[in-house]
Amino acid sequence: MKLPAMASWRLLACLGVLSSASVHAHGGLMETQSYTSRRGHPEDRLMGFTRGTLISRDGGESWRWVCAEAMGYGSWTPESYVWLSGGDLLAATGKALLRSHDGGCSWEPSPAFQDAWVSSLAEHPTDGSVLFVATGRPAVTNLLYRSEDGGETWTPTPLRREAVFSTVRVAPSDPKRLYVSGWVGYAMYLFRSGDAGETWEDLPQSLPPGLEGAYDLKLLSVSPATPDVLWMRVSSRAADGTIRYTVLRSEDGGRTLTSVLEVEDPLVNMDVSADGRTSWVATYNHLYRGREGESFLPLSLPTGNACVTREGGVLYACGSTWLHDWALARSTDEGSSWEPLFSLREVQGVHQCPAGTPVRERCTGLWPQLAQQLGAPVSPVSPDAGTPDEEVPPKPDGCGAAAGKVAMAPLLLLTLLRRARRRG
C-alpha cells in the first residue's frame, strides 16, 4: 500500500525520532526488561525499563516513570532489582549498587562498592534483611559480600577469587546453600557453599561435547524444590560465526551439566515452578517452557521482548507494546494463555515525588517527549477526576500513537533492530 506523501514524511520523521531515542535509551528500543514486587506488599511493583524504571503503588492499576537521569546509572542498565519489605529499593547495574530510601524518588550509589563492579544481587528467600552482592570487575580480585541489615552495611565473605563473578543465587529450599558463577579467561567455575558462605568449594565446569570454547558462564536459577538442581547458560560461536546460547541443567549441585536448550537469541532470564518440574526461559524474542522429561518449546506469546517472573502460581512476563500491545501480562496456566496487564501507552506520567527530589526535578521536563514517543497522554487525567461531559480524550498524534499509519514506525524500527541484533 502506498502512503500519501504527508504520511510518508511523518513515518520517516518518527523513525528518526525513535532511532535517536533508542540511542539515548542506552542501546535499545523502549521496552520493559524485568518485573519485581515488594515482599509482603503486593500493591508495590516495579518494572525495569530501557529509559529508567516504571513503578506502580496500586497493584499495577497505574504505572509511572522514573527516568534514568534521576537514577544516575549512565550506560550501566540495572540487571536486577530488590524491593525490600521495609520500602527501600536496590538496583545492581553491573557497576554500582544503587539504593533508594524514599520509594524511588532519589537514588544513591552504595559507598561500599566504589571501586568494585556489582555484577549480581540476591535476596535471602525468607529473611529480607539478608542480602548478597557479587562483584565482577575483570583483572582484579572479586568478592562476595553479605548484608544482614537490608543492605545498609556489607561484610566480605571468605569467597574472593581472581575471577569475574557473574551471578550469586541462594537456594530457596536451603538458604545455607549458596552458588556463585564466574570465569577466568575461558576457564569457567561454579563456587558452592553449604554453610551460608563460610566455606566454599570450587567446581571447574566441564561442558558437554560441542561446547568447546564456550564462555560467559552465568547461573540462571536454582530449583525451589531441591538445592542440587540448577540451571546455567554459556555463550559459544558456531562454525558459521553465529553466537549460540545454551542452557545447561545440573542435578548434582553443579558437578555435571546437560544441555537442555540451545538458541541463537540472547537469553534474558528464567524461572522455575515451586515443585521444580516446569521451567521457563526468556530470550529477546521468545518465552520457552520445559516440563520435566520434555524438551523446551516456544510459547505462542510473547513474540518479542520476553522476561519471566513467577510469584506463587502466577507467571508475569514482559512483552512488546509494539508487537502485541502489552508490556506486561500474567498467566495462571503456565504460559499457555496470557492476560494483558499493561501497555507502555498507559504510562501515567512521572513518578509522584516531592519537590526537590531528582525524579521531580529531572524527569518532569523529559516526560513530554517520552510520552509523545510512547503514545501516552502527556497530561494524564487523574483516575478519579473523570472526563467533562463524557468526552473521550484525543489520541496522541505523535510517533507512538496507537492508531494511524504513523503507529507502524515503532514496529518497523523494532523489526530492523532485531534483525541487526541477530546479525551482531
The CATH number of the domain holding residue 199 is 2.130.10.10
Q: Between 416 and 260, where is the model more confident?
A: 260
Cell of 293: 522429561
Confidence of residue 12 (pLDDT cuts 50, 70, 90): very low
pLDDT digits (tens, 9 = 90+) for 272-328: 999 999 999 999 999 999 999 999 999 999 999 999 999 999 999 999 999 999 999
Are 61 and 151 in the same domain?
A: no
Q: Report yes or no on 89 lying in a domain.
A: no
Average pLDDT, the chain: 86
Among 233, 264, 295, the domain-final residue is 264
- Which residue type occupies 415? T
- State the average pLDDT over residues 75-102: 94
Are 190 and 258 in the same domain?
A: yes
Q: Report yes or no on 103 lying in a domain.
A: no
Beta pairing class for 131-135 and 142-147 = antiparallel
pLDDT digits (tens, 9 = 90+) for 370-418: 999 999 999 875 444 333 333 333 333 433 333 333 333 444 444 444 4
Spatial CA neighbour of 26 closest among 79, 81, 63: 79
How far is the C-alpha of 100 from the C-alpha of 109, rounded, in Å? 9
Are 361 and 239 in the same domain?
A: no
Predicted confidence at residue 233, as pLDDT, reads: 96
For residue 221, the enclosing domain spans 110-264
Are 258 and 331 in the same domain?
A: no
Q: Report yes or no on 340 lying in a domain.
A: yes
Contact present, 186 and 143 (Cβ < 8 Å): no
Instruction: Kindly give the residue spans of alpha helices, DSSP state H, lying in 150-288.
Output: none
pLDDT over 70 for what percent of the chain? Answer: 83
Are 163 and 260 in the same domain?
A: yes
3-state secondary structure of 181: strand
Specify the number of domains making up the chain. Answer: 2
Among 237, 264, 291, the domain-final residue is 264
How far is the C-alpha of 390 from the C-alpha of 385, rounded, in Å? 12
**What is the residue-wise DSSP string for 287-345?**
EEEEETTS--EE-SS--SS-EEEEETTEEEEE--HHHHS-SEEEESSTTSS-EEEE-GG
Among 204, 236, 264, the domain-final residue is 264
Are 210 and 334 in the same domain?
A: no
Predicted confidence at residue 69, as pLDDT, reads: 96
Q: Does pLDDT of 139 surpass 50?
A: yes
